Each structure stands twice: as structure tokens, then as C-alpha cells.
A and B are shown apart, each in its own frame.
Chain A
């Protein structure tokens, strides 16, 4: 079945450090891939998405590239800020006539000043 695996957290970085959060997936066909972010006390917000192989999604300095050959969608940011502290969820969407969006377990990021 379809599934998403992302690296366990928490991830703790200093401000201006480089961020990578790994995400791999298992799915039939060609799913759409997403990163969502959840700030404390809030619901999830879409951060970026990619809908086909080799697409790069980007937003707010974050990037992720849809790699079909490695079934991966790793999230990266060149220089994190304290305000990036949040929980990040990788997700895939594959409409097989039933359940649509599958989320990874989430990775908590702490950024220290």
C-alpha cells in the first residue's frame, strides 16, 4: 500500500544552519507530493508541493524535488531562522478512489538563536 516515511526528530539547529528533512514514499503510479508545516497551536499549512517527477516545489526559502528514481522528496532550506521552528509533515496524495492523502509521522524542528 501507499506510505510515507520521514526522518525522526526532533531536529535541533542553530540559526542560519542548513536544513534537510528526509522523506521517502511508497506508492503505485505517480502520486503528488507535499510538505506541510504546523506551527505551535495551529493546524497544518501547505508549504510546497510537486506533482510530477523532477518537479521542484519551493516556498519561503524551502525546496523539495520529486525524485521518482529514489522515491524521495527531501525538504531543504539553506539558512533556517528561529521562526522556522515547527513540525514538518511529508505527504502524498494518490486518488485510488478511496483514501487520498497519507502523511508521514512528522519531524519537529527546533532552531536556536
Chain B
């Protein structure tokens, strides 16, 4: 079974630019989550998509947005990049939204550096 795949693995952008990150969930998973991991440690929840709908959003400005496609893959868009957006962006997927015990399956992330 293929795991969660993210692309690209690394990205360098300049302040003010826009970036799109991509995620393909494990086959059969309908939920996709995006997290920001700055400073190599804590995870900050960004967005949750399920069945093509945005279900929840973390405490991030509107320039962070995304979408989920009919095949359940997802994109994260960040506009007007700022230096503090430099981080590892992790995508995760899970089987179902309506039970508590479905673990998240993570990709290896996209390392974004903003200069």
C-alpha cells in the first residue's frame, strides 16, 4: 500500500510569492489534514478536508487556503509568503471522520524556505 505522498519535498521561495503544496492520501482515505511544523518540533493544525469540503481550520490567516479534489488529493496554497512561513508542511490522511480511533498517516512533508 502506497503511503501518503507529498510534493515537492523542498521548496525555496521569496517573500511575497505564492506557493502550492500537494498531497495524495492513502487509497481509500477520505480525510486530509495539513499541519505546519516550524522549528522542527511542534505541530500546528492548519486545515482539515473531508469528502471535498473544508471541515475545520486552525488559527492561521486567510492567505493559507486549500482544497480537496474528487480523488481526495489535496492542495495547500500560501499567498504573500512571509519569512515566518518557513517550516515543514505535513499532510496526513485517515480512514474516517466519525470515530475517534482512526490514526493519522503522515507524509514526509514539504520543507518550505522563504528568503
Contacts and interface: CB of A to CB of B under 8 A. Distances in A.
A15 B64 CA distance: 43
Which secondary structure characterizes the binding site on chain B? loop
Contact of A93 (B41, B42, B101, B107): B101
Interface of A: 30-32, 34, 36, 41-46, 49, 51, 87, 89, 93-95, 98-103, 105-106, 108
A93 B102 contact: yes
Contacts of B98: 95
Contacts of A103: 42-43
A68 B112 CA distance: 40
A99 B56 contact: yes
Contacts of A36: 104, 106
B102 A44 contact: no
17 contacts: A30-B100, A31-B100, A32-B101, A41-B108, A42-B108, A43-B92, A43-B108, A44-B92, A44-B104, A45-B106, A46-B104, A49-B103, A87-B40, A93-B100, A95-B100, A99-B58, A103-B43
